[in-house]
Every structure is written in C-alpha cells, then in structure tokens.
Amino acid sequence: AQSVTQLDSHVSVSEGTPVLLRCNYSSSYSPSLFWYVQHPNKGLQLLLKYTSAATLVKGINGFEAEFKKSETSFHLTKPSAHMSDAAEYFCVVSALDGANNLFFGTGTRLTVIP
C-alpha cells in the first residue's frame, strides 16, 4: 500500500531563512514522489517530482527535494524563504504498480513572517 506522512501540519519561518517541509512515504513498489503547492482558494501547482532518476530534484521557485530511500523520506527545502512562498504544500506518492492514482499527504501550511 502507498501512503505519505507530512510530519508538520504548520511551519512558520522568517523571511530570508531556510525552509524545511518534511515528508515520509510508504510504498510497496518503487515510488514516484511529487511536491505540489496550493495558494488559498486556488488549484495545485507542481513544484517538483522524483521518478527514479537523480535523487536530488530541483523544482520551481528555488525549491528542491532529496529522495532518501534508506530513510523513506522526500523532504522539501529552500535556502531562503520569500513572502510569496506562504501557501499549503502537499507531498504526493504514486507507485509504479500499474494503477493511475496519486496518494496525497494531509498538507503543511507554510507561514512566512516578514
């Protein structure tokens, strides 16, 4: 079975400081992993995805994530937070088992303090 656990429901950082949003996954097969961002009352936008290529994945807006199989983790980081980064972030897993579904974490709300 596939699932993701986002370890923090809310993260608060000061503008200009690093961002760390944590995600652990569980998968019976080799997973593909995604991070999506959602601004209030908007749809979701893909930040980055891991599909068994390089373990360090770079995404849009300066975000990156590292796939660590030994730790079953896919944490999202950014060196310096910007006010526009304030949003909800979802970690998502899909297993390469022939199904066509995604499994969403419960989300982490990022607040950026000026």
Nearer residue to other proteins within complex by CB, 85 or 105? 105
Asked whether position 51 contacts other proteins by CB under 8 A, the answer is yes
Cβ(81)–Cβ(18) below 8 Å: yes
Which pair of tokens denotes residue 84?
Answer: 């526009």
Nearer residue to other proteins within complex by CB, 73 or 94? 94
Give the closest residue to 35 by CA, choosing from 91, 104, 96.
91
CB of 99 to other proteins, least distance (A): 7
Please state, in angstroms and rounded to a whole number, the distance separating the CA atoms of residues 27 and 10.
25
Asked whether position 5 contacts other proteins by CB under 8 A, the answer is no
Asked whether position 113 contacts other proteins by CB under 8 A, the answer is no
Residue pointed to by tokens 């596939």: 2
How far CA 53 is from CA of 7, 12, 20, 28, 65, in Å, comes to: 25, 31, 22, 19, 13
Asked whether position 7 contacts other proteins by CB under 8 A, the answer is no
> Total binding residues for other proteins by CB under 8 A?
27
Where along the sequence are the contacts to other proteins (CB under 8 A)? 9, 31-32, 34, 36, 41-46, 49, 51, 90, 94-96, 98-107
